[in-house]
């Protein structure tokens, strides 16, 4: 009996111990080497005059006293002190900034505050972790998560991480929109930025004038989403409702955009349709069409986006079509409806919620897209690109970038909200679980012709783009139809020699390639971990605020990459969390951008697994962590694989947020490619992209080999058999 | 007095505004098999999960072996549980499933496996150690689940509707096995079911629950013969419920009037269908007659009252439309308020 209470006490005491160590034994500030130890700890700093540490130290000392009493973990006093410590911990970080105190009374109270303070270092981060751990332990002791310490810790930690790395930056960005660089409230500036004519202008509709950037963004989003939805619908109908043979090939093509690095599709389109493009050239030669720059601007971006988003809408609409119970259509036929009438009166209405979902999904993607507009935009400005130039361009104007980012965020959230509402109410689920034997009605002939008329050009177009990508890097100049094979571009990028000193890498792309590989390699498992953990918490743990928790994680997915990038610049350039220019900020950015995909994969897998298996494990004495490792993870291995692959590939091809966060030391492949595109070195960009795609495919194969899915396949087969056999 | 294994003191469990368990108290003696019985949503499964630690009480105390475990998670209690779906780990063999608990609790791997083998032997599964659960029949899977639950000598063994996935024909055999195992190992067991026949067959005592509260606790015979309420009378076996009143030592309802020993007031009289006898040629009419193999079941209309009557097959056979006389011994009437 004593054994149990002892174990329970230990967790809390351990967190408290770590907290004390972080204050007394580790250097508090960033940039101080770990070896300097207690001499530069918070305690030492406090003793040497940095008095703003005293409230935190006092709170921790009081906690130490309380922990000597019996059942201290269940006492209100311990919880109150911990929350107090958390508050003063956060307060001390913001009270004194890099250059001095943030409020006059702080400066008056502490003389040394005038010197300012650096960002958090070893001690600071450890203290944060220990406080979160202690808090989770105390709430678990009070019955949170049914007393499960591990689950309580995971929830507290993820909430803390989301707060620091998702909500805090957005908040900071929001504040930056209202505050001028000197720290004064600047509502007038905000208003003038918000009402600027170059945002909302509508002149393009009435004459030859140009529209504002917001109008441009929305027009692009609506057009792009409409076309992508139409194309996705055609593809889905072709696969689900006709005897079309190459269905597997179609699915394979639909995966391509995921592993295609950004910019390269845009470059291929320029090489095809630009003023000196291949198709343009042939048009001029054969039909006398005068070459023009028509592709730069709305048409070019549209083509590239439709190409990129059609696979997404295709998958959404395919699952909608598959979910329609065929007996409904059969019923219509037996009641005397013709094929076209059935489609119009039964199939189409059932498809509408799926169409809306696909449209909104593509709309959100279009708003967030950065790679295509920056390559193909020409004079057509959209929000994501304008935000980028407000931060990275010659005129650094964070306030303006923040205002634009808030507008983009608002647009996205409205679409996201509509999507949630729509999905929540209007989805006609016609799958009943009963096995209705019915065959999906084949498409009426007229529709079939229409579908083919849409799909075939798309296939030709996709093939053309990918042929350019596949070949472009290995011939002298595909844009001028000079097809002399060459390895010249590859050598520029990836030249290496095996000299006496060992392997020497000379190519200009090695730096970014290696950084990308190891950053993605670290980010992917962490992303998977956080994503799958979150899924497990949401699906399996019953805790106060679970819905809000789920919503918060999903929301972080809806924030456009550009906005995330700017918000990180706004939040993490200055203390207390001062991490720009490090590889850590790239990794953290990837984790929180891609985590929701791991979460969705995990949720889907967990829905298939009987919850009582985990409860069985618990009644046999296993805590949450053991249950997760020994029971849950082995059963959801395919989801782990999906999450790993997706987060790895996305980390390698991501651009919109990353472009703000790369530094000279930590450059990423996509940023390098963007540089080459801007310099007009198209062949080099294409060669690099092709190599990147090959590397990604190889890495995915390696991940598959490590995670392995074979054993599971065998068991599923057995289960399937057992289920069809009668019991004893 | 016998040692107490489990004790509930004013236990309340709420989910938001819904109350699943509404201030219940009871205690279970060591070595006893107690069943929670009730309709769905009565709080019986929640009560079981409160013992397991899979739910923590909103108010009140749960004690196991004298220790207050109200705030301990499942992993820190010593309980064994057999789940409705068995919850065998599909990625582990039978042996690994049973050895899981001891391994988790820090027993050396070899010894954990020895213990698991010994238990599997006891439940008659020797030779199947290397199989995966999916390669076993339903009955075998259930025995693995039981072996896994008892291998750690738990303070209490919990069964959550263990027969609901067993073939109807096998249920009698499996429940006898469960009872036998519980007696052989001297285990304290708590059993949840909504099937009153199952409850009567396996239990030492039954806790009948209704809307989160305890309707009655007692041995199977006590519940059947002396139900404390119309609900219990109706839920345990079949019963005719007659609402009426007692005045001056006589129970009256419609045209009925029978001498009883009870205080005056409004009451419900209950009478078991097999306690009513039928004689030919009376004023009551047989409305329905059903042949059930071992007995006949009649619905009899007696003026305003309708009775369910169960007679042995050896009695003279009656058919719908026959006129009969209902004979009730006043001693068989149970009055509840």
User: What's the complex ipTM?
Assistant: 0.84
Sign of CA dihedral B92, B96, B99, B105: negative
Nearest residue on chain A to B82, alpha-carbon basis: A616
Positive or negative, the Cα torsion across A387, A392, A394, A398?
A: positive
Q: Which two tokens stand for residue A70?
A: 């019996």
- Least confident residue range of A491-495, A617-621, A690-694: A491-495
Kindly tell me if the per-residue pLDDT of B273 is higher than 60: yes
A200 pLDDT band, cuts 50/70/90, is: confident
User: Cβ A148–B73 below 8 Å, yes or no?
Assistant: yes
Q: Do B132 and A728 touch (CB under 8 A)?
A: no
d(CA B20, CA A44): 54
Res. A726: pLDDT tops 90: no
> Which of A593-607, A711-725, B259-273 is predicted least confidently?
A711-725
A24-33, A253-262, B236-245 — which is least confidently predicted? A253-262
What is the count of residue pairs from A and B with beta carbons less than 8 Å apart? 122
The reply to whether residue B55 touches residue A146, judged by beta carbons under 8 angstroms, is yes
For domain A505-724, give its CATH number from 3.40.50.300, 3.20.20.370, 3.60.40.10, 1.10.3720.10.
1.10.3720.10
How much is the mean pLDDT over chain B? 91
DSSP A683: H
What is residue A11's predicted lDDT score, i.e. its pLDDT? 85
CB-based burial label for A370 (10 Å; 0-12, 13-18, 19+): buried
* Lowest-confidence pick of A205-209, A636-640, B68-72, B333-337: A205-209
Least confident interval from A5-14, A403-412, B172-181, B270-279: A5-14
Residue spans of alpha helices (H) in chain B: 44-52, 94-104, 109-122, 138-150, 171-185, 196-202, 220-225, 230-235
Q: Which of A150, A621, A622 to mutate to test the interface with B (most CBs of B within 10 A)?
A: A621
- Structural domain spans, chain A: 2-142, 199-472, 505-724
Answer for the pair A232, A307: CB distance below 8 angstroms, yes or no: no
Q: Report the 10 Å Cβ neighbour count for A62.
A: 16
Contact criterion met (CB < 8 Å) for B74 and A1: no
pLDDT in tens, A467-521: 888 888 888 877 777 778 888 888 888 888 887 877 777 788 888 999 999 999 9
**d(C-alpha A297, C-alpha A236), whole Å:** 29
Percentage with pLDDT > 70 across chain B = 100
Q: Chain B: nearest CA to A13, how far in angstroms?
A: 18
Contact (CB<8Å) A619/B91 = no
Comparing CB atoms, the residue among B84, B91, B100 nearest residue A620 is B100
Nearest CA in chain B to A540: B54
Q: Do A620 and B72 touch (CB under 8 A)?
A: no
CA distances, A476 to each of A3, A151, A228, B126, B171 (Å): 74, 58, 34, 73, 79
Give residues 1 to 40 of A whose Cβ lies within 8 Å of B.
1, 4, 7-8
Question: What is the H or E stretch that residue B311 is in?
Answer: strand B305-312
Say yes or no for a CB contact (<8 Å) between B85 and A610.
yes
Most confident option among A120-129, A435-444, A713-722: A120-129
Percentage, residues of chain B above pLDDT 90: 62
- In chain A, residues 60-119 whose CB comes closer than 8 Å to chain B: 74
Q: What tokens were used for B296?
A: 């006949």
Strand order from edge to edge, sheet including B213-218: B79-82, B156-160, B189-193, B33-37, B205-210, B213-218
**Chain A residues with CB-CB distance to B53 below 8 A:** 146-147, 618-619
Residue A382: pLDDT band with limits 50, 70, 90: very high
What DSSP string describes A463-522? Answer: HHHHHHHHHHTTEEEGGGTEEEE--HHHHHHH-EEEETTEEEE--TTHHHHHHHHHHHHH
CB pair distance less than 8 Å for B134 and A146: no
CB of A616 less than 8 A from some CB of B: yes
Q: Which residues pair with A384 in a beta bridge?
A: none
Binding-site residues on chain B for chain A (CB distance < 8 A): 52-56, 67, 71-81, 83-85, 87-91, 100-101, 104-105, 132, 134-140, 148-149, 152, 158, 165-167, 170
pLDDT band of A723, cuts 50, 70, 90? very low
Q: In angstroms, how far is CA A174 from the centroid of its own chain?
A: 20
How many Cβ atoms are within 10 Å of A390's Cβ, its own excluded? 20
Q: What H or E segment, with its residue span, contains residue B280?
A: strand B277-291
What phi and psi, each to the nearest 5 degrees, are found at residue A506?
A: -105, -25
Q: Which two tokens stand for residue A679?
A: 């310099």
Residue of chain A whose alpha carbon sits nearest to that of B66: A1
Domains of chain B: 4-229 (3.40.50.300), 238-336 (2.40.50.140)
Tell me the per-residue pLDDT of A225-255, one tens digit each, with 9 for 90 and over: 999 999 999 999 988 888 877 777 777 777 7
Say if residue B29 is preceded by a cis peptide, omega within 30 of 0. Answer: no
Under 8 Å between Cβ of B293 and B313: yes
pLDDT, residue A1, reads 33
Q: Which one, of B191, B117, B110, B193, lies nearest residue B148 by Cα?
A: B117
Residues A199-472, CATH architecture: Orthogonal Bundle (1.10)
Q: Find chain A residues with C-beta within 8 A of B16's C-beta.
A: none
Contact list, A72 vs chain B (CB under 8 Å):
none
CB within 8 Å: B56 and A630:
no
Whether the per-residue pLDDT at A64 is higher than 80: the answer is yes
Choose the closest CB to A727 out of B79, B83, B139.
B139
pLDDT tops 70 at residue A115: yes
Q: Nearest residue of A to residue B168 by CA position?
A: A727
**Taking CB atoms and an 8 Å cutoff, what residues of chain A touch B73?**
146-149, 618, 623
B97, closest residue in chain A (CA to CA): A617
Q: Give yes or no for residue A720 having a pLDDT over 60.
A: no
CB within 8 Å: B79 and A719: no
Decide if pLDDT at A438 tops 70: no
How far apart are alpha carbons B242 and B284 in whole angstroms?
A: 16
CB nearest to B80's CB, from A143, A146, A619: A619
* Res B202: pLDDT: 92
DSSP character string of A302-331 = HHHHHHHHHHHHHHHHHHHHHHS-HHHHHH
Q: Are strands B189-193 and B156-160 parallel, antiparallel or unpaired?
A: parallel
Mean pLDDT of chain A: 84
Distance from CA of B179 to the nearest CA of A (A): 20
| CA angle centred on A298, ends A296 and A303, rounded to 5° | 85
Report CB contact under 8 Å: B74, A727. no
Contact A598, A643 (CB under 8 A): yes
Please identify among residues 529-588 of chain A the ones whose CB lies closer than 8 Å to any CB of chain B: none
pTM metric for this prediction? 0.84
Q: Is the pLDDT of residue B337 over 90?
A: no
Q: B62, B71, B85, B159: which to substitute to probe chain A, counting the most A Cβ within 10 Å? A: B71
Cα separation of A677 and A247, whole Å?
35
Q: What is the mean pLDDT of residues B18-25?
A: 94
Q: How many degrees, rounded to 5, is the angle at CA B235 between CA B232 and CA B241?
A: 75
> What's the token pair of residue B181?
């195992």
């Amino acid at each position: 009996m004593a054994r149990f209470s002892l174990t329970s006490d230990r967790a809390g005491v351990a967190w408290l111990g770590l907290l004390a160590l972080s204050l007394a034994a580790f250097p508090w500030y960033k940039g101080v080497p770990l070896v300097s130890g207690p001499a530069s700890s918070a305690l030492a700093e406090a003793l040497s005059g940095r008095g703003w540490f005293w409230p935190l130290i006092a709170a921790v000392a009081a906690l130490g006293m309380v922990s000597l009493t019996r059942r201290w973990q269940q006492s209100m006093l311990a919880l109150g002190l911990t929350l107090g410590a958390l508050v003063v911990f956060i307060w001390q970080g913001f009270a004194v900034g890099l250059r001095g105190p943030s409020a006059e009374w702080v400066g008056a109270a502490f003389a040394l505050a005038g010197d300012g303070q650096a960002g958090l270092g070893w001690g600071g981060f450890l203290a944060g972790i220990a406080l979160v751990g202690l808090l989770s332990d105390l709430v678990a002791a009070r019955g949170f998560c049914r007393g499960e310490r591990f689950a309580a810790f995971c929830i507290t930690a993820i909430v803390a991480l989301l707060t620091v790395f998702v909500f805090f930056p957005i908040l900071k960005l929001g504040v930056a929109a209202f505050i001028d660089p000197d720290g004064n409230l600047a509502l007038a500036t905000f208003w003038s930025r918000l009402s600027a004519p170059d945002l909302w202008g509508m002149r393009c509709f009435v004459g030859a004038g140009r529209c504002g950037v917001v109008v441009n963004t929305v027009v692009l989003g609506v057009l792009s989403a409409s076309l992508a939805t139409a194309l996705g619908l055609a593809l889905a109908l072709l696969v689900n409702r006709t005897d079309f043979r190459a269905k597997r090939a179609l699915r394979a093509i639909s995966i391509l955009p995921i592993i295609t690095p950004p910019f390269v599709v845009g470059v291929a389109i320029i090489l095809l349709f630009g003023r000196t493009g291949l198709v343009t050239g042939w048009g001029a030669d054969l039909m006398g069409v005068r070459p023009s720059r028509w592709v730069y601007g709305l048409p070019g971006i549209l083509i590239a986006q439709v190409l990129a988003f059609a696979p997404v809408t295709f998958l959404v609409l395919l699952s909608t079509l598959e979910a329609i119970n065929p007996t409904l259509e059969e019923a219509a036929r037996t009641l005397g409806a013709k094929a076209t009438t059935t489609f119009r009166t039964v199939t189409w209405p059932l498809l509408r919620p799926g169409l809306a979902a696909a449209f909104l999904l593509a709309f959100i993607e279009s708003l967030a897209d950065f790679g295509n507009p920056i390559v193909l935009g020409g004079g057509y400005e959209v929000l994501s690109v304008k935000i980028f130039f407000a931060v990275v361009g010659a005129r650094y104007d964070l306030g303006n970038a923040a205002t634009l980012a808030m507008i983009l965020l608002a647009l996205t959230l409205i679409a996201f909200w509509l999507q949630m509402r729509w999905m929540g109410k209007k989805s006609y689920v016609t799958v009943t679980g009963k096995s209705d034997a019915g065959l999906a009605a084949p498409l009426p002939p007229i529709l079939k012709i229409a579908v083919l008329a849409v799909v075939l050009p798309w296939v030709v177009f996709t093939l053309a783009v990918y042929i350019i990508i596949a070949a472009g890097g290995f011939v002298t100049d595909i844009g001028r139809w000079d097809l002399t094979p060459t390895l010249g571009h590859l050598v520029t990028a990836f030249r290496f020699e095996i000299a006496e000193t060992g392997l020497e890498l000379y190519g200009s792309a090695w730096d970014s390639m290696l950084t990308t590989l190891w950053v993605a390699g670290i980010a992917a498992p962490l992303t998977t971990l956080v994503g799958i953990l979150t899924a497990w918490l949401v699906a399996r743990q019953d805790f106060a605020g679970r819905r809000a928790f789920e919503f918060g994680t999903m929301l972080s997915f809806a924030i456009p990459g550009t906005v995330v990038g700017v918000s990180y610049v706004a939040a993490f350039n200055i203390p207390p969390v001062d991490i720009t220019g490090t590889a850590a900020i790239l990794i953290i950015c990837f984790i929180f951008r891609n985590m929701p995909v791991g979460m969705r994969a995990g949720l889907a897998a967990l829905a298939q697994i009987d919850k009582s298996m985990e409860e069985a494990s618990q009644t046999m004495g296993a805590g949450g962590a053991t249950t997760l490792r020994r029971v849950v993870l082995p059963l959801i291995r395919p989801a782990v694989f999906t999450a790993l692959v997706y987060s790895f590939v996305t980390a390698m091809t991501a651009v919109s947020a990353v472009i703000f966060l790369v530094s000279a030391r930590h450059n990423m492949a996509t940023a390098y490619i963007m540089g080459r595109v801007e310099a007009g070195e198209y062949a080099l960009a294409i060669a690099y992209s092709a190599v990147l795609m090959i590397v990604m495919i190889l890495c995915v194969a390696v991940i598959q080999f490590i995670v392995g899915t074979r054993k599971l396949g065998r068991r599923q087969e057995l289960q399937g058999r057992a289920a069809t056999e009668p019991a004893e | 007095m016998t040692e107490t294994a489990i004790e509930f003191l004013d236990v309340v469990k709420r989910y938001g505004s819904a109350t699943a368990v509404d201030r219940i108290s009871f205690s279970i003696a060591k070595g006893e098999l107690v069943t929670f019985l009730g309709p769905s949503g009565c709080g019986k499964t929640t009560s079981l999960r409160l013992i397991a630690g899979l739910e923590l009480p909103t108010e009140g105390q749960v004690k196991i072996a004298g220790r207050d475990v109200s705030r301990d998670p499942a992993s820190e209690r010593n309980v064994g549980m057999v789940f409705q779906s068995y919850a065998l780990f599909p990625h582990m063999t039978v042996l690994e499933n049973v050895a899981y608990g001891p391994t988790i609790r820090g027993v050396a791997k070899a010894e954990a496996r020895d213990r698991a083998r010994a238990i599997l032997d006891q439940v008659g599964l020797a030779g199947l150690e290397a199989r995966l659960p999916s390669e076993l029949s339903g009955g075998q899977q259930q025995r693995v689940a039981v072996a896994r639950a008892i291998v750690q000598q738990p303070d209490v063994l919990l069964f959550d509707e263990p027969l609901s996935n067993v073939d109807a024909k096998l249920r009698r055999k499996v429940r006898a096995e469960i009872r036998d195992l519980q007696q052989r190992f001297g285990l304290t067991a708590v059993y949840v079911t909504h099937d009153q026949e199952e409850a009567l067959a396996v239990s030492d005592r039954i806790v009948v629950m209704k809307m989160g509260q305890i309707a009655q606790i007692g041995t199977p015979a006590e519940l059947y013969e002396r139900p404390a309420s119309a609900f219990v009378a109706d839920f345990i076996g079949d019963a005719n419920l007659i609402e009426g009143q007692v005045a001056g030592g006589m129970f009256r309802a419609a045209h009925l009037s029978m001498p009883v020993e009870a205080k005056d007031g409004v009451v419900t009289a209950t009478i078991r269908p097999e306690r009513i006898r039928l004689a030919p040629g009376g004023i009551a009419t047989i409305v329905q007659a059903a042949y059930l193999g071992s007995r006949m079941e009649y619905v009899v209309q007696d003026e305003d009252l309708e009775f369910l009557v169960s007679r042995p097959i050896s009695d003279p056979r009656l058919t719908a439309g026959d006129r009969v006389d209902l004979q009730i011994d006043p001693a068989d009437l149970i009055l509840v308020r």
